[in-house]
Each structure stands twice: as C-alpha cells, then as structure tokens.
C-alpha cells in the first residue's frame, strides 16, 4: 500500500533509500562544514529578524520564533546558488548545493519534537536540520543536525495530538470552537495561553490540510469531546460583537452547528478556491485580533 501524499510541511521522508544515498554521497563527508554553513546562515538572519520582532508573546528574540527563523532560512535556501559564502562555511554551502543539484530534497517542516514542543525545522535528504534550535531554550546551540530517524520528530496525527503537545509546551488550556461554527471545521480549537490570551487554532498549513484530508473527522472529534463554559462563551461573544463573523447564539447551538458542518463537509465541502482559503484564514486572523484583549482565568474557563 502506497503512502499518502505529503501534507504541507509534513516531517516525513518520501523516498528514504534515494535520499539516504544522496546524503551519504554529498553531505555526510562534509557534515561539520554543513553545520558551519547553517550557523553562518543563521548569523546573517539574526540581525534583521531581531529588529523586525524583538520579542514574541513577551519573550525576547529568538524565543518562540522558530517559524520566523525557519521561513527566513527557507527563502535563502531557495536562492542557494546565489549566496556568497566565504571561509570554512563555503565547503558546507558547496556540499549542499551539489546535493540539491543531484535531486536531493530540502523541505521546511513542522511537527512534534520528542513529544515536548512544536518545532519548525528542515528535512535535508535523510537529515534533520534545525537552524532555530535555541528558540525554546536560548542556552541551546543555534543549529542541530541529526539523522532524521534519530531526531524523534513526528507528524501531528490529529487535534488530540496537537492538544497534548500544546498542554505540555504552552501550558495552555484548550476548548472547542463553538463560538464561530463556520470556522470550526478548519480551526476547531480555542487556546487559552498562560497570562490569559485567547486564540483560535490550529493556524498552520499542516493542520488545515490534515483536517481536510480526514474529512473533518479530526475536527469533529475535539469539537464533540471538549467542553466550554457559558461564561467564557459569553466573554468571547462580547469580544466578537460588531464584527462580520457569524457567532453562535448559544453553546448548544454552536456545538450542533459546528458538528453539523463537519459532517456536511465530509462529502460536500465547498471548493477550496484561493478566495475561499483567504476568507477562512482572514476570518481566523480577525477573530484572534478581536479576542486579544480577553483575559481569562482557568476557573472562569472551566466547564
């Protein structure tokens, strides 16, 4: 039975034998130089990125900015042959360029790292390459390179899996999105972060695609299995008042509508045009913007 097609940013190697052979030929003989190249790449990014966003969620750069660092690195890697690299790092640059010219895969990926936190990194052939290794704990090395099979870097299987990691990594409280049923099949979670901030999740291309590939069964599972208090529902509804987003009138109505939509989309999902995808994402962004001022304690949020 053939494996399913890759989801966006899925941490998986498709043709492991081919990637291993190319890695052994082009990268393993120059692994130390490859690490030096990754360090030089990261050094070139830190200044602009730290100026653009000195802190995130109250934490100083680079904490919490693995996505920003990885995306900036990805942009550089797409222009690899045009980069000017000098010194010992040049050998790593040349090795990576030869690997890519031979057809080796370099992909930016996102997933569950060791069951401890979400991480953005790269699959490079048969290697796990993380150029933002210090974004959870700043004392760690900036770059980590390991055989992918030893990295314990796994795809998120469903929203329950997402919740387990979010509970551990963010110490977050998670609730169902019964407030905005039209967005719930795609963004079925309400995440209450320590300190009180509230947002819809999961705002990643991977989780968005996973929900669709499952026929929205992974969304329905958490929408049906989690609970939300009347008080938090009312607070969220008040924050969202006045927007164009269509709110449910009650908990029961919101839950029923969200589950009904998941069931309907299982076989009759509207075509995901660029315009519709943009509307869904903009709706999530707008909801999160309006929910930003909401401060919620665990006692108020508990059902």
Q: Any idea what DSSP says for residue 192? A: E
Query: What is the mean pLDDT of the segment spanning 61-70?
Result: 94
What's the confidence (pLDDT) of residue 203? 85
Q: What is the pLDDT of residue 2?
A: 53
Which residues 6+ apart lie within 8 Å of 4 measured at CB?
A: 213
On the question of pLDDT at 54 being above 90, the answer is yes
pLDDT over 50 (residue 300): no
pLDDT tens digits, 68-121: 999 999 999 999 999 999 999 999 999 999 999 999 999 999 999 999 999 999
Please tell me the least confidently modeled range out of 24-28, 34-38, 105-109, 192-196.
192-196
Contacts of 71 (CB under 8 A, 6+ apart): 108, 120
Provide the pLDDT for residue 303: 42
The per-residue pLDDT for 56 is: 87
Report the chain's mean pLDDT, rounded to a whole number: 93
pLDDT for 302: 43
Query: If pLDDT is split at 50, 70 and 90, which confidence band does 57 have?
Result: confident
Task: Please check the confidence at residue 237 and state whether its pLDDT lies above 90.
Answer: yes
Nearest to 128 by CA among 210, 19, 17: 19
* pLDDT-wise least confident of 100-109, 186-195, 209-218, 250-259: 186-195
Closest CA to 206 of 77, 108, 273: 108
Q: Containing H/E element for 233?
A: helix 230-240
Angle, alpha carbons 69-73-133 (nearest 5°): 50
The reported pTM is 0.91
Confidence of residue 297 (pLDDT cuts 50, 70, 90): low
Sketch the domain layout of the chain as residue ranges: 16-154, 159-301
Average pLDDT over residues 118-139: 95
State both tokens at 60. Answer: 């100083």
Least confident of 97-101, 133-137, 224-228: 133-137
Look at residue 138 and tell me whether its pLDDT is greater than 80.
yes
Nearest to 290 by CA among 252, 247, 236, 250: 236
């Amino acid at each position: 039975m053939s494996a399913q097609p890759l989801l966006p940013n899925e941490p998986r190697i498709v043709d492991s034998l081919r990637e291993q052979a190319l890695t052994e030929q082009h990268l393993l003989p120059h692994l130390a130089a490859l690490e030096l190249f990754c360090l030089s790449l990261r050094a070139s990014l830190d200044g602009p990125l730290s100026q653009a966003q000195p802190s995130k969620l109250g934490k100083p750069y680079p904490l919490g900015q693995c996505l920003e660092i990885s995306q900036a690195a990805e942009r550089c890697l797409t222009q690899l042959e045009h980069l000017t690299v000098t010194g010992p790092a040049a050998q790593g640059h040349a090795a990576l360029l030869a690997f890519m010219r031979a057809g080796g895969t370099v992909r930016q990926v996102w997933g569950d790292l060791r069951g401890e936190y979400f991480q953005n990194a790269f699959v490079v052939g048969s290697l796990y390459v993380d150029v933002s290794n210090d974004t959870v704990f700043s004392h760690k090395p900036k770059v980590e390179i390991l055989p992918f099979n030893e990295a314990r870097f796994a795809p998120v299987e469903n929203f329950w899996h997402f919740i387990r990691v979010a509970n551990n990594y963010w110490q977050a409280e998670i609730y169902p999105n019964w407030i905005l049923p039209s967005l719930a099949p795609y963004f079925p979670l309400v995440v209450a972060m320590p300190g009180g901030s509230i947002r819809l999740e999961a705002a990643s291309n991977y989780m968005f695609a996973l929900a669709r590939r499952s026929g929205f069964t992974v969304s329905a599972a958490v929408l049906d299995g989690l609970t939300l208090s009347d008080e938090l529902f009312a607070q969220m509804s008040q924050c969202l008042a006045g927007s164009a987003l269509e709110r449910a009138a009650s908990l029961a109505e919101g839950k029923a509508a969200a589950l009904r939509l998941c069931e309907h989309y299982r076989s009759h999902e509207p075509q995901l045009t660029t315009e519709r995808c943009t509307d869904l994402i903009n709706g999530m962004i707008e909801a999160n913007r309006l929910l930003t001022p909401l401060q919620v304690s665990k006692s108020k949020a508990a059902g």
